[in-house]
Amino acid sequence: MKKTIFITILFYATCVCAVSWREIAKENDMMAGQEKIDAGADVNQKLEQGMTPLLWTTFYGSADVVRCLLEHGACKNDMNNVRYQDGYWIRKGWEAIDIAMTDEPMQGYGYASILKKDFARRAIIQMLLAHDKELAQRTLEVLNFRDSLDKATYSFLKFCTGVSFATFPTTCNTYRLAVECIANDIPGDFVECGVARGAQIAVMGYACQQYQCEKKIHLFDSFQGIPLAGPNDASQPGIRGPIKHNVNVPLEQLLVSSGVDVFSVSYVKNNMKRWGVEPHRLVYHEGWFQNTLPTDADKIEQICVLRLDGDLYESTKVCLEYLYPKIVPGGYLIIDDYALPGCAKAIHEYREKHGITCPIIKIPQGRGPAYWRVS
Ligand SMILES: C[S@@+](CC[C@H](N)C(=O)[O-])C[C@H]1O[C@@H](n2cnc3c(N)ncnc32)[C@H](O)[C@@H]1O
């Protein structure tokens, strides 16, 4: 008899607590949450279907209560024990947070499918808020921006991602910065060094056409692929294993095609035509950057977006030397290969040499690319 009463009371108490935390979460009622904790409630209490106070508050995106629970020692590991269908998405949300914070590529399920789930998105944002406010803000910006795209633009950016070497967030970022410069009347042209098939160029062209902007778009490329890596590079891009050639030779001897990413100028011109990029705004600079920039850089007065995507140390270095000084205040430098040690080295050396302190912003879910706003 005693046992039955005890079980009944325990069952009743558990149900009441579950409802309460859920109500608190729903209302984002921080005061009620705090009162409950002050009254001795267990922040890691096991509720129905494997839920916990933190899971409910994450589920409802109750930022204040999430923070309050975390401050009082709520355990994040319970995310792994959720049996609830929605909890599955919360758990995925937590994984995504880790990925967003470490920039590791997503394993298994695509991040995109998580972000489609409203509550999982809230979970991500809330948790990012608890860990890294700036990253939360940037992730939100990217997500909101993505949501704001009309269907035609979304489809075009998806298409460009498919023919690019970039991820969708990276392609979105090119478009977002291009549109921002156009909208804010930032003077100067768009430039990409390392265009491959021309996907990112097409994105810039699309933005110009959409907003009837008469900026020029400059395409710098050998149109015969990436050259050989040098002593400051960790690998030969696109070729697995250690570098096989002698890197300790004069630079001119490294300016030969590695055979990787070979797209001829006529192929790229044809792509532009097929993808609807108006030809009058495109300016082609064919040849090794080291040979074209000393003469062609002078033909560009100002730059609003400079996109560097040449993979190697020397390819990045020479572009910075000739083109960075032309970026106007309020314009952007995008570094597609920031994850590659050679490219990062060239960037850091240049920043140090010229005392550049503009914060480097990693593109959320871009898997490496970064950018900064020139001040
Ligand atoms: C990874 S691909 C560019 C990808 C392209 N931006 C995209 O998103 O699809 C690298 C490009 O850089 C070019 N490149 C690298 N180093 C170069 C150099 N020193 N001179 C000229 N072109 C170079 C290659 O020809 C190749 O097209």
Instruction: Using the mean position of ligand 1's atoms as its centre, give its distance from the Cα of residue 185 in Å.
Output: 29
31 or 325, higher pLDDT: 325
Instruction: Using the mean position of ligand 1's atoms as its centre, give its distance from the Cα of residue 260 in Å.
Output: 9
d(C-alpha 370, C-alpha 82), whole Å: 35
What are the residue ranges spanned by the domains of the chain?
A: 2-140, 149-373
Instruction: Using the mean position of ligand 1's atoms as its centre, give its distance from the Cα of residue 85 in Å.
Output: 45
Phi, psi for residue 327 in degrees, rounded to 5 = -70, 130
Structure token pair of residue 60: 């409802």
Instruction: Using the mean position of ligand 1's atoms as its centre, give its distance from the Cα of residue 325 in Å.
Output: 21
Backbone angle region of 311, left / alpha / beta, with phi > 0 → left and psi within -120 to 50 → alpha: left
User: Confidence class of residue 320 from pLDDT cuts 50, 70 and 90?
Assistant: very high
For residue 337, which atom of ligand 1 is closest to its CA? 1
178 or 11, higher pLDDT: 178
User: Confidence class of residue 112 from pLDDT cuts 50, 70 and 90?
Assistant: very low
Residues having CB within 6 Å of any atom of ligand 1: 164-166, 194-197, 199-200, 221-222, 225-227, 261, 288-290, 309-312, 315
For residue 263, which atom of ligand 1 is closest to its CA? 27
d(C-alpha 49, C-alpha 356), whole Å: 53
Q: Which residues pair with 283 in a beta bridge?
A: 218
CATH topology of domain 2-140: 1.25.40
Burial class (CB in 10 A: 0-12, 13-18, 19+), 246: exposed
Cβ atoms of 50 and 19 within 8 Å: the answer is no
Does the pTM surpass 0.75? The reply is no
For residue 312, which atom of ligand 1 is closest to its CA? 16
Going by C-beta distance under 8 Å and a sequence separation of 6 or more, which residues neighbour residue 285?
218, 219, 220, 221, 292, 296
Going by C-beta distance under 8 Å and a sequence separation of 6 or more, which residues neighbour residue 110?
none
pLDDT, position 113: 46
- Report whether CATH 3.40.50.150 matches the domain 149-373: yes
60 or 31, higher pLDDT: 31
pLDDT, position 105: 37
Instruction: Using the mean position of ligand 1's atoms as its centre, give its distance from the Cα of residue 68 in Å.
Output: 49
Residue nearest to atom 20 of ligand 1 (CA): 288
pLDDT, position 118: 54
Give the start-end residues of each E strand in the chain. Answer: 189-193, 217-221, 282-286, 303-308, 327-335, 361-362, 370-373
Q: Which residue has the tokens 């871009």?
A: 366
pLDDT, position 66: 73
Q: Name which of 1-5, 250-254, 355-359, 369-373 the model is least confident about.
A: 1-5
Q: Is the pLDDT of residue 99 over 90?
A: no
Interval 310-319: pLDDT, tens: 999 999 999 9
pLDDT, position 146: 74
H helices of 163-280, in order, are: 168-183, 199-210, 251-254, 265-274
Per the prediction, the chain carries an average pLDDT of: 83
For residue 171, which atom of ligand 1 is closest to its CA? 8
Going by C-beta distance under 8 Å and a sequence separation of 6 or more, which residues neighbour residue 277?
198, 201, 202, 205, 206, 209
Instruction: Using the mean position of ligand 1's atoms as its centre, give its distance from the Cα of residue 195 in Å.
Output: 5
Count CA atoms within 13 Å of residue 328 on its CB side: 15
Residue nearest to atom 2 of ligand 1 (CA): 196
Cβ atoms of 281 and 216 within 8 Å: the answer is yes
Residue nearest to atom 25 of ligand 1 (CA): 225
Instruction: Using the mean position of ligand 1's atoms as its centre, give its distance from the Cα of residue 284 in Å.
Output: 13
pLDDT, position 30: 84
Q: Is the pLDDT of residue 340 over 70?
A: yes
Instruction: Using the mean position of ligand 1's atoms as its centre, give its distance from the Cα of residue 263 in Å.
Output: 9
Pocket test for ligand 1, best of 226, 251, 312 (most atoms within 8 A of CB): 226
Instruction: Using the mean position of ligand 1's atoms as its centre, give its distance from the Cα of residue 91 in Å.
Output: 39
Q: Which residues pair with 190 in a beta bridge?
A: 217, 305
**CA 236 and chain centroid, separation:** 24
49 or 209, higher pLDDT: 209
Mean pLDDT for 75-99 is 53
Write out the H or E segment, with its range, that includes residue 117.
none
Instruction: Using the mean position of ligand 1's atoms as its centre, give its distance from the Cα of residue 213 in Å.
Output: 26
Using DSSP's 3-state secondary structure scheme, residue 371 falls into strand
For residue 194, which atom of ligand 1 is closest to its CA? 12
Pocket test for ligand 1, best of 168, 192, 222, 323 (most atoms within 8 A of CB): 222
Q: What crossing angle do the helices spanning 168-183 and 199-210 adopt, rounded to 10°?
A: 40
Share of the chain above pLDDT 90, in %: 56
Residue nearest to atom 27 of ligand 1 (CA): 196
Mean pLDDT for 50-58 is 76
Mean pLDDT for 267-281 is 97
pLDDT, position 368: 84
H helices of 132-198, in order, are: 133-148, 151-162, 168-183
Strands of the sheet containing 370-373, edge to edge, are 282-286, 217-221, 189-193, 303-308, 327-335, 370-373, 361-362
Q: Which of 361, 309, 298 is nearest to 201 (CA)?
A: 309
Residue type, 314: E
Interval 7-46: pLDDT, tens: 554 444 444 444 478 888 877 788 899 989 988 899 988 8
Structure token pair of residue 112: 């995109």
Pocket test for ligand 1, best of 165, 168, 197, 221 (most atoms within 8 A of CB): 221
pLDDT, position 193: 98
Structure token pair of residue 205: 């062209």
Residue nearest to atom 9 of ligand 1 (CA): 164
Using DSSP's 3-state secondary structure scheme, residue 110 falls into coil
